Structure 1
Amino acid sequence: MKVKICGIKDITTALSAIESGADALGFVFAESKRKIDPETAGEIIRQLPADILKVGVFVNETKEKIEKIAEVSGINTIQLHGDEPTEFCSSFSIPVIKALSVSSAEDLFRMDEYSCDFFLLDSPKGKYRGGNGISFDWSVLADSQFLDKKIILAGGLNPENVAEGIKAANPYMVDVSSGVETEGKKDLGKIKRFIEKAKSTEKEEVK
């Protein structure tokens, strides 16, 4: 099971997450309490292994600004967490994650509208588009088979429920931010426990 730790703001957390087994790190460039500037993100990213996904998170940003931030920071994947149209999502030269808020099974059909590398399924938006610490009803995924799509499960995951989420959704990757924080800051112990739980939970084999 692959794991993405989102909301990275310092090199210590980044390296500790990777040492614990993280496959991807998220850097938030949209309005958020976890927002980071491109230059600081770049300083962190330049110290990371080449095979790690370095994901930049954007909400309804212009293509020009996204490309500029990607150039400055060195991110190698773009996460679009707003109301970006289909054509916009397929206009980049590096991989794209399209985030979709899920409140019912009908929301899952929106995946058919997009051509992108990954889909991140998140809770309905709160104050911010993500990182609100609330799960959606995973049972809506029970009868769905995403054989041709790489699904990233997000929204309200933590070390205590990530195994349940993996078994319910059978995703390609799990994504966590607030679920590995203590008093609003990344907790290295929680990150380690989250990754250990996720990695030890077997995905169901598709028959």
Structure 2
Amino acid sequence: MERIKVKICGLTRQQDVIRAVSCGADFIGLVFANSPRQVDMEAAFFLLQDVPERVGKVALFMDQPAEFVRNVISLAPLDLLQFHGRESNDFCRQFDMPFTKAIPMAEPGESTRRFSDFPDASGLLLDSHGAGGAGGSGKVFDWSAVPRSSQKIWLAGGLDAKNVGQAIRQVRPWAVDVSSGVERRPGIKDHGLIESFINAAKAADTLHNQE
């Protein structure tokens, strides 16, 4: 069985990127949308330049112009795009890169009906924000509302080292995504929390695969 993937998102400092990679993160995420964790293109290039190929490099956008997205793609070594706003499937796929689409789960019944709206997505990221809101809120949504899906599910929203194990056992996502759950303050990661989160996720995954 394929093991769980772990993404550390909202990185703004090189030392935090290095720590996430050394602890075994599978993906690192940089935020280009308006946020306390936002980075510019120059910073992104600096942060990503020494990240090994085995670690996926993700750029997060939210309702930004296609030209801006293309500029980021041209300057930063990226593997995956993540769209967190009201972007359509057609908008997301125009860049000819794998992408994930965030689905706001504040109203689960309405949200899960949108799963079929993104047939070209390489995965769906389920977060606790409402429609039009950003992620990184630190709030957990009702995991029992996650339906079975043929698409890869990235689980986000209020995850930390204490609850990620239960989240993995209950939802069985393809990946877990954390930002505020490993921070001292927005954009400034706590290295101990990064290590604890990744270890907890992988330990829960190992137990699940042994069942």
Q: TM-score, normalised by structure 2?
A: 0.91
2:108 maps to what in 1? Answer: 104
1:192 Cα shift?
A: 0.3
Give the number of aligned pairs. Answer: 202
User: Is the Cα contact below 8 Å between 1:55 and 1:75 reproduced in 2?
Assistant: yes
The reply on whether 1:179 has 2:197 as its aligned counterpart is: no
Higher mean Cα deviation, 56-65 or 69-78? 69-78
Percent of aligned pairs with the same amino acid: 37
**Which of residues 145, 148, 151 in structure 2 aligns to 1:149?**
151
**Aligned-partner Cα distance in 2 for 1:28–1:88:** 18
Distance 2:133 2:198 in 1: 24
> 8 Å contact 2:104–2:131 — kept in the other structure?
no
Partner in structure 2 of residue 121 of structure 1: 126
Q: Distance in 2 between matches of 1:174 and 1:194?
A: 10
2:135 aligned partner:
130
CA distance in 1 between counterparts of 2:95 and 2:132 reads 28
Using the alignment, how far apart are the partners of 2:131 and 2:34 within structure 1? 13
Task: Give the superposition deviation at 1:135.
Answer: 0.8
User: What's the CA shift for 1:126?
Assistant: 9.0
Distance 1:96 1:17 in 2: 22
TM-score, scaled to structure 1: 0.92
* Residue 106 (structure 1) shift: 3.8
Question: Which of 149, 159, 162 is the equivalent residue of 2:161?
Answer: 159
Instruction: Give the Å deviation of 1:67.
Output: 1.0
Match of 1:15 among 18, 24, 33: 18
**Partners of 2:169 and 2:39 in 1: how far apart?**
33
SS in 1 for 2:204: coil
**Cross-structure match for 1:170:** 172
| Deviation for aligned residue 1:124 | 2.2
In the alignment, the residues of structure 2 paired with residue 38 and residue 125 of structure 1 have an alpha-carbon distance, to the nearest angstrom, of 28
Moved more, 195-204 or 53-62: 195-204
Q: 1:139: which partner in 2? A: 144
Unmatched segments (≥5 aa) in structure 2: none
Match of 1:198 in 2: 201
The runs of 4+ residues in structure 1 deviating greater than 6 Å are: none
SS at the partner of 2:111?
helix
SS for the counterpart of 1:84 is coil
SS at match of 1:124: coil
In 2, the alpha carbon distance for the partners of 1:51 and 1:63 equals 28
Structure 2 CA distance for aligned equivalents of residues 56 and 176 of structure 1: 14
| Partners of 1:135 and 1:91 in 2: CA distance | 32
- Structure 2 distance, partners of 1:194, 1:123, is 19
3-state SS of paired residue (1:133)? coil
The CA deviation at 1:42 is 0.6
User: Once structures 1 and 2 are overlaid, which stretch shifts more, 132-141 or 189-198?
Assistant: 132-141
Secondary structure of the 2:205 match is coil
